[in-house]
Amino acid sequence: MAKSKFEPTGAIELEARNLSVLYDSTPAVKSISIRIPDRRVVAFIGPSGCGKSTLLRCFNRMNDLVPGARVEGEALFQGTNLYGPEVDPVDVRRRIGMVFQKPNPFPKSIYDNVAFGPRINGFNGNMDELVEQSLRKAALWDEVKDRLNASALALSGGQQQRLCIARALAVEPEVLLMDEPASALDPIATQKIEDLIYQLKQDYTVVIVTHNMQQAARVSDYTAFLYMGELVEYGETNRLFTNPVEERTEAYITGRFG
Amino acid sequence: MSMPERSEERPPERPHPAVQRDASRFAPRLRQRARFGTLFHGATFAATVVGVVVLVVLLYDVITDGVRHLSWDFLKGFPSRLPARAGILPALVGSVWTLVLTAVIAFPLGVGTAIWLEEYAPASRWKKIVETNISNLAGVPSIVYGILGLAVFVRYMVMGRSILAAAMTLALLILPVIIIASQEAIRAVPGSIRLGAYALGATRWEAIRYHVFPLALPGILTGTILALSRAVGEAAPLIVVGALAFVPFVPTGPLDQFTVLPIQIFNWINEAKVEFHYLAAAAILVLLAVLLTMNAAAILLRNRYSRRF
Amino acid sequence: MGGSSSRTADPGAVPRRQGQERTPDPGGLSRRHRRERWIGALLILCSAVSILTTVGIVAVLLYESLGFFREISPITFLTGTEWSPQYTSRQYGVLPLVTGSVVIAFIAAAIALPIGLLAAIYLSEYAHERARRVLKPVLEILAGIPTVVYGYFALTFVTPILRSIWPGTEFFNGLSAAVVMGIMIVPMVSSLSEDAMSAVPRALREGAYALGATKYEVATRTVVPAALSGIIASFILAISRAIGETMIVTIAAGAQAKLTLNPLESMQTMTAYIAQTSMGEASQGSVEYRTIFAVGLLLFAITLLMNIISGFVLRRFREVYE
């Protein structure tokens, strides 16, 4: 049970209310309540297996794809329960985008990767323009503008990840969920991703899962520490890292376990 | 939960997002796509089930056509101009003879090749050629094997239209299948077993014979039985090699002329009198029973003895 | 891991320390090494059999065909439109046989490819584990039924139905054989295509779902394009199999070589010709006897070419996912 309950101010974009996730009756997320404010970066940190990725995936209903996964409680997006009976997960996933740990571009051209989402979602504007804008927002345009028809797999790891970000942005989501986006990348590519996140938060709500505490400290406004499926502490990043309230938080931050 | 802790500082006012989110730029047509998705799901399921349906219809057809002709007399009888007296004993015996001879020829050759490929052959161009060759042979039409058998075994080696020629032809036909299945079974044995044997001073062959081979044997046998069950059902190459149309005797040796079950079925189908068609159906049931037994044996073998390493 | 990488050189005799008694051949080592060499030689001979088989096929086909082509020009053979070696007219144009094979294979493919691919998509993307465990083996059963049984089914069940739908259908017709052959080939397409689709990494599907794709879109616009090389290779192999199939067409399609594209008519394929002529009375050394080999050579060449192309497609266009 989280003794220190933090209430962020401002408009709340995402909220979990007593949210639990069980995989075949093994609990992975235990009754977590948390509020994610609009257009801020929130980081989920914690040791392996603490449930941070599982919690993240609740917000775009990706847990639906895991056979045997059961979700209890509520996950709210702008006040509406994402798990309500009238909600189509396909719609949720367009408005709440996701970037994965290992870059997973489609084996298609760079252009087709970015255009994939809009095409499926019935985009009726100028596709070339949208592709360019998305690549610019992902800070990749200058590097690929001359070879949009080249295979996406020819790009470096860091470029592929930025392509995945561009791809996610192309469907104009309101939230971007990032599951350890830089953990498979070298330090330079990681730096670029972190810079990108800082840019993106002007326009998008970003929730990032990371096992790298320094990254969380650099990039996020608020940080949530999870342990064994529970929310231990949640607060402003600076405060959490310099003056944690909970003992377990302090133990994790100072490297005593994890 | 205790009282929420309020953060001291208020975040600065955020400007409106620079990103335009005009919802009308996207027309997700959710309901349409969902409906189409359900239809597609149904279509894929139907496609999968079509095969099952055809199988059931086929079996029903064969059973209703042939089951009343099944009797001990049928199994013990000889083919005859009179449908009422015709039986499949020569064909059954011929099939058994052929099966056994084919197994005796193909099994050592196939397993030997697989052992050489997996345990002895250095990863060289030559090995690649042999493997590519085997995979090509697996795709050659069965009747071409019959032509090979006719020219080499029947004529050139003067075996005549005999069981031996047939068995050698069929052995060559199923050899690629046995080799590939045996290779997989051998490959599945972990290297630690071999290393353990070498560490005790075993030579390469001793390691194979006493350690690798016994562990791979269930997989090898399963593959071999499945390959042999394919050979039992083959007719085309044997037509060319010369299984006879009318065999009123039971073969007693490998150089005898012969017929096999599929050929007998084929002959009866070609007869003008409709009664022979029903006999063919009965013979089909016998053939299917034989195949069912062989396949069941192979599957039992696999389930009972195959281990997860 | 087995095979070459864990092979060690057979240990030779370990040098002895000074002063130790030399016992004659401890552990029977030299005897065992001699046996090793014999066995190695034996195994190489086993492998040679597969090479000899190919050599044998090619040699046999070429030898008799060369005899054939000394009497009939290859051009006439490949471009002639009438085939009647057993009749007094003695025409040796193979095109009617080729069109027979191709028309039937084409129709069989038109049935098997869509059904096989859809079934593969179901098994790979939609089916629960339990359904898969049941349905997959059942499809394999279809592949294991002897073709002579399919021939029976085509002649006694399918042909009467076709004749009641289209009264002009001949008793022996290509369509009946083609339909049954199509069903027989479905497991080949579905099994190979499903293997190709299962090899597509899960991460690719997740990426598509995360963009708001429905299951249908993930399957058809992400997985199938990613597995395309394997799927197309399976198509080519299936067509090759259809061309090489003998019993169904021999029983149900007809014994008259006729240059026609109408599947409701009787037609003779290359394989049926070889089978039917082998049952006949052609004497060795006659031109008619040699036609078996000439047609066999053509059949072998066509199917070999297709199998090679299939392997090429598989290797060359295999998608790299990482």
Higher pLDDT, C51 or B7: C51
Give the model's confidence band at C14: pLDDT under 50 very low, under 70 low, under 90 confident, else very high. low
Query: What distance in Å separates residue C80's CA from the closest CA in chain B?
Result: 23
* pLDDT on residue A111: 96
Q: Please give the interface size between B and C, counted as residue pairs whose CB atoms are below 8 Å apart.
A: 282
| Alpha-carbon gap, residue A95 to A86, rounded angstroms | 16
- Give me the residue from B6, B17, B25 closest to A7, CB to CB: B6
The percentage of chain A sitting over the pLDDT mark of 90, rounded to a whole number, equals: 72
What residues are paired with A4 via a beta bridge?
A233
Which residue type, as a one-letter code, is found at position A166?
A
Name all chains with 3 or more CB-CB pairs below 8 Å to chain C: A, B
Nearest to B17 by CA among A220, A167, A11: A11
Instruction: Give the Cα separation of B2 and B97 in Å (integer).
Output: 86
Mean predicted confidence (pLDDT) in A89-102: 93
Cβ proximity of A71 and A21 under 8 Å:
yes
C6: pLDDT strictly greater than 50: no
Mean pLDDT over residues B15-35, rounded? 74
Task: Give yes or no for C253 touching B (CB within 8 A).
Answer: no
Cα separations in angstroms, B26 against A45, A125, A133, B33: 35, 8, 16, 14
Q: What is the pLDDT of residues B251-300, one digit of tens each?
A: 888 888 888 999 999 999 988 888 889 999 999 999 999 999 999 988 88
**Residue C7 pLDDT:** 47
| HSE value, Cβ hemisphere, 13 Å, CA-based, for C6 | 20
Between the CA of residue B5 and those of A2, A3, A76, B2, B92, what are the distances in Å? 12, 10, 22, 9, 88
Q: Which residue has the tokens 């400290």?
A: A217
Whole-angstrom distance, CA of residue C104 vs CA of residue C158: 15
Give me the residue from B15, B21, B30 closest to A172, CB to CB: B21
Q: Report d(CA C281, CA C272) in Å as an integer.
A: 16
The answer to whether the beta carbons of residues A220 and A208 sit under 8 Å apart is yes
| Residues of chain B found within 8 Å of residue C58, distances taken between Cβ atoms | none
With contact defined as beta carbons under 8 Å apart, do B87 and B261 qualify? no
Give the SS3 label for residue B212: helix
DSSP string covering A35-54: EEETT-EEEEE-STTSSHHH
Candidates A185, A207, A182; CA nearest to A194 is A182
The reply to whether A91 touches chain B by the CB within 8 Å rule is yes
Q: Which of A116-120, A205-209, B294-298 comes out lowest in average pLDDT?
A: B294-298
CB-nearest partner of B18 from A7, A8, A203: A203
Q: Which residues contact A215 (CB under 8 A, 6 or more apart)?
A: A43, A182, A190, A194
Tokens 């995360």 label which residue?
Answer: C210
Q: How far is A235 from chain B (nearest CA, A)?
A: 8
Q: Give the model's confidence band at B3: pLDDT under 50 very low, under 70 low, under 90 confident, else very high.
A: very low
Residue B2: the pLDDT is: 31
Average pLDDT for chain C: 88
Chain A partners within 8 Å of B34 (Cβ): 88, 90
How do residues C241-272 score in pLDDT, each as one tens digit?
999 999 999 999 988 888 989 999 999 999 99
Q: Say if pTM beats, i.e. exceeds, 0.80.
A: yes
Q: In what order do the strands lie in the sheet with A175-179?
A: A96-99, A175-179, A205-209, A41-45, A222-227, A230-236
Instruction: Check whether B71 has a pLDDT greater than 80.
Output: yes
- Residues from chain A contacting residue B29 (CB–CB below 8 Å): 122
> Which residue did the predictor score with more confidence, C62 or C283?
C62
The answer to whether B266 and B277 are in contact (CB under 8 A) is: no
Q: Which residues of C touch B154 (CB under 8 A)?
A: none
Handedness of CA A172, A177, A179, A182 (dihedral sign): positive
Nearest chain A Cα to C129, which residue?
A67
| Ramachandran area for residue A73 (φ above 0: left; ψ -120 to 50: alpha; else beta) | left
Question: Which 3 state secondary structure label does DSSP give B253?
Answer: coil
Res C3 pLDDT > 50: no
Distance from CA of B302 to the nearest CA of C (A): 14
- Best C129, C211, C321 member to test A by mutation, with max A CBs in 10 Å, is C211
Arithmetic mean of pLDDT, A69-75: 92
Distance CA C193, CA C201 (A): 15
Report the residue of chain C nearest B226, measured CA to CA.
C144
Find the CB nearest B33 among C115, C155, C214.
Answer: C214
